[in-house]
Chain A
Amino acid sequence: MTESLAIKGVRDRLVLTVPPGAAGPLLELVLTTIDERSAFFKGGKLAIDLGPHVMSAAELGRLRDHLAEREVHLFAILSSAEASQAAAANLGLDLDLDRVTQAEEVTAPAIDTRLPGEAAILVERTLRSGNQVEHNGHIVVLGDVNPGAEVVAGGNVIVWGRLRGVVHAGAGGDDTAIVCALDLAPTQLRIAGHIALSPEREGAARPEMAHVKDDQIVAEPWSAAG
């Protein structure tokens, strides 16, 4: 691979530009560049300028996961290709560099509060129809998961809100994964290879936790006393 990708610093962010002439799989191209200077990129916020290149939502999702493993936070995709923009928007990535939220400005530099062990991501918004979140570790959603949205986690899924979309915990085959929600009423609930549909609800919503018991998904109400 001979093409080199340009790296540019913008405030506290890094922008990686893929030249229009770049050939071969973009995913590998980007990861090779990152790996060459892993110490430089580690812990950084990264935007990738794809130019006219097209990457699908699935490819971008994989790229984001690979980057997360390398402790690089992908926050934006810049592209002149509508397909790439749409894919990035679907994953909840920014499409420009201008949007600096106030919280980010105030809290920098961030303190690393992660505990060693499995990684989790926090999704601080409601996932609407068409949104998809995929992550190898755990996923915590602070908001609702509306019908038509999908959450796929290698580990557990916790929703602090109403879970109405499709959820898959333990997507890598982990039978011990769980799904919790304040209102557990997914269109479809999967844990590893098991699939369950929500029963008709009786009475008011209450927090529940679903797990696999005797080869079947069961949902149990959760209460502080229990």
Chain B
Amino acid sequence: MTATIVTITSGKGGVGKTTATANIGASLASLGRRVVCIDADIGLRNLDVVMGLENRIVYDLVDIVEGRAKLRQAMIKDKRIPELYLIPAAQTRDKTAVSPGDMIRLGDELRDEFDYVLIDSPAGIERGFRNAIAPADLVLIVTNPEVSSVRDADRIIGLIEAESKGPGKLIVNRIKPEMVKRGDMLDTADILDVLAIELIGVVPEDEDVVVASNQGNPVAQNKESRAGRAFHNIARRLEGEDVPFETLEAGDGFFGKLSRLMRPGDQR
């Protein structure tokens, strides 16, 4: 097995990086892939809570890097989904406890045993972000349909390009179709117009996400949830499937524009 290392980042905080990581991880695992999620947000760990594995943590990322624990010891197996693992962040340390070189070494060690390594990046553009993207083969940028979030995503894409990590792919999270329809919210086409990168998912705002995160049970497990389906579709697109984008009840205009913008190589 040779894993694809996927880093999920955004620049701005609170746009849904951790939720996206947990859900894409759960979806890929439910498609039968071996997946490990790494929380790179050292000092502000969250991914364990969203995945519902908080009470099982014994060792963490910093323990592995500093040699106090073996990789196997620190990996926590998911409660429900076989072949889904978590490497949690340390809560009592900060970003400087790990270097980009450490992350590349860790990524290389995991490559042989997994199909996917997902890295949940911290917000910001400093050390933590650099750690998270250092080993990445692919970077997913999460943005919300609002101007400040798109601005930060643009900055991040620039930094990723400077590191030769490609332009990355875009997840538009927490879109409200009713607001887009009224013209009160940026729609996906507006965002792609500025960022000019490939879209890999559009996730609608959904109360189920909050409920599921609080219960530590990724929403992607719930096929009734629209957000859950959207995350599941992102996983299928990562697998190379050509999954059409769901219409978000906002009329043909929206979807028409979207599908036009989506064709690869036709972004400008």
Asked if A146 and B154 sit within 8 Å, CB to CB, the answer is: yes
Q: Which residues of B contact A129 (CB under 8 A)?
A: 151-152, 154-155, 158
Given that A89-B163, A146-B194 are known contacts, is A131 also in contact with B127, CB under 8 Å in the complex?
Answer: no
Q: Is the CB of B162 within 8 A of A99?
A: no
Docked complex Cα distance between A204 and B152 (Å): 27
The answer to whether A128 and B158 touch across the interface, beta carbons within 8 angstroms, is yes
Are B130 and A126 interface neighbours, CB within 8 A?
no
Known: A95-B162, A99-B164, A128-B155. A82 touches B130 (CB 8 A): yes
Main secondary structure of the interface of A (DSSP, over half): loop
- Residues facing B in A179-223 (CB within 8 A) are none
- Bound CA–CA A164/B159 (angstroms): 19
Interchain CB contact (< 8 A) of B154 among A82, A89, A99, A128: A128
A44 at the B interface (CB under 8 A): no
Report the interface size class on chain A: 10 to 19
Please report which residues of chain A, range 118-133, place their CB below 8 angstroms from some CB of chain B when the two chains form the complex: 126-131
Bitwise interface map of B from 157 to 177 toward A, beta carbon under 8 Å scored 1, else 0? 111011110000000000000
- A95, A99, A129, A131: which has the most chain B beta carbons within 10 Å? A129
For the complex formed, measure the closest distance between the CB of B48 and the CB atoms of chain A, giving whole angstroms.
28
Contact assessment for A147 and B162 in the assembled complex, using a CB-CB cutoff below 8 Å: no
Q: What's the tally of chain B residues with a CB closer than 8 Å to chain A? A: 15
Q: How far is the CB of A173 from chain B (nearest CB, A)?
A: 30
> Does A172 count as interface, using CB distance less than 8 angstroms?
no
Task: Give residues 122-152 of A contacting B (CB, 8 Å).
Answer: 126-131, 144, 146-148
> When the two chains form their complex, are residues B130 and A131 in contact, meaning their CB atoms are under 8 A apart?
no
The answer on a CB contact under 8 Å between B157 and A128 is yes
Minimum CB–CB distance from B115 to chain A (whole Å) comes to 28
Give A66-102 interface residues, CB cut-off 8 Å to B: 82, 89-90, 92, 95, 99
**From B151, B161, B162, B194, residue with most partner A Cβ within 10 Å:** B162
Residue on A nearest B152 in the bound complex, by CB: A129
A89 to B151, CA, bound (A): 18
Does B186 interact with chain A (Cβ within 8 Å)?
no
Q: Which residues of B contact A148 (CB under 8 A)?
A: 151, 154-155
User: Complex formed: what's the CA distance from A128 to B161 in Å?
Assistant: 10
Give Cα A127 to B151, complex, Å. Answer: 12
Chain B 169-208 near chain A by CB (<8 Å), digits 1 or 0: 0000000000000000000000000101000000000000
B164 touches A131 (CB 8 A): no
Complex contacts, A146 vs chain B, CB 8 Å: 154, 194
Closest Cβ neighbor of B100 among chain A residues? A82
Min CB distance, A162 to chain B, in Å? Answer: 9
The smallest C-beta distance from A186 to any residue of chain B, in angstroms, reads: 14
Could you say which of B130, B151, B152 has the most chain A C-beta atoms within 10 Å of its C-beta? B151
Q: Is the CB of A130 within 8 A of B159?
A: yes
Question: Do the beta carbons of A89 and B162 come within 8 Å of each other?
Answer: yes
Contacting residue for B158 out of A95, A130, A147, A164, CB 8 A: A130
Interface residues of B in 127-173 (CB under 8 A from A): 127, 130, 151-152, 154-155, 157-159, 161-164
Cα–Cα, bound, A164→B154 (Å): 13
How far apart sit A92 and B158, CA to CA, in the bound complex (Å)?
Answer: 9
Greatest chain A CB density within 10 A among B152, B157, B164, B194 is at B194
Q: How far is the CA of A146 from the CA of B151 in the complex (A)?
A: 9
Is B151's CB under 8 angstroms from A147's CB?
yes
Interface centre among B157, B158, B159 (most CB of A within 10 A): B158
Distance (Å) between the CB of B59 and the closest chain A CB?
28
CB B195 to nearest CB in A, in angstroms, measures 8
Q: Footprint of A on B, CB under 8 Å? A: 127, 130, 151-152, 154-155, 157-159, 161-164, 194, 196
Closest 4 CB pairs of A and B: A128-B158, A89-B162, A129-B155, A129-B154
A residues near B (Cβ < 8 Å) are: 82, 89-90, 92, 95, 99, 126-131, 144, 146-148, 164
Some 30 contacts from A to B, beta carbons below 8 A apart, are: A82-B127, A82-B130, A89-B159, A89-B163, A90-B162, A92-B162, A95-B163, A99-B164, A126-B196, A127-B158, A128-B154, A128-B155, A128-B157, A128-B158, A128-B161, A129-B152, A129-B155, A129-B158, A130-B154, A130-B158, A130-B159, A131-B158, A144-B196, A146-B154, A146-B194, A147-B151, A147-B194, A148-B151, A148-B154, A164-B194
